[in-house]
Amino acid sequence: QVQLQESGPGLVKPSETLSLTCSVSGDSISTYYWSWIRQPPGKGLEWIGNIYYSGSTNYNPSLKSRVTISVDTSKNQFSLKMSSVTAADTAVYYCARVGGGGNNWFDPWGQGTLVTVSS
């Protein structure tokens, strides 16, 4: 079955760029939309954005100015870059597959990776 695994630095300095990669196994990335979602410690979930294998993206307007999601079909991976981070960006970052047929539910999810923004 499809599995997702996030990877990237667990500590990022304020004002720098957060970079994460999601590796997909058990399914072709060229089949669905894929998403990034985050969860600050002890808080709720926030959708960051989606990407299709073609490179078509949708972003949360609240983060759009700082976020870029890209895809590498040759590696079956997609990535997140978030610039000018602050402590408010400290969160567990999840990647997930988006339900097909225009139905934007998330299943499955990666295990998540904690990113702490601190000097």
Partner 1 sequence: DIQMTQSPSSLSASVGDRITITCRASQSIRSYLNWYQQKPGNAPKLLIYAASTLQSGVPSRFSGSGSGTDFTLTVSSLQPEDFATYFCQQSYTMPLTFGGGTKVEIK
- Judged by beta carbon, residue 103 or residue 119, the one nearer partner 1 is 103
Instruction: Report d(CA 81, CA 57) in Å as an integer.
Output: 13
- Judged by beta carbon, residue 102 or residue 119, the one nearer partner 1 is 102
Instruction: Report d(CA 21, CA 6) in Å as an integer.
Output: 6
**3 token code pair:** 């599995």
CB of residue 13 vs partner 1: minimum separation in angstroms? 26
- Please identify which residue in the block is written with the tokens 């969160």: 91
For 95, other C-beta atoms within 10 Å of its C-beta total: 30
State the residues that interact with partner 1 by CB under 8 A. Answer: 44-47, 58, 60-62, 94, 99, 103-112
- Judged by beta carbon, residue 70 or residue 104, the one nearer partner 1 is 104
**4 token code pair:** 């997702």
CB of residue 109 vs partner 1: minimum separation in angstroms? 4
CB of residue 33 vs partner 1: minimum separation in angstroms? 11
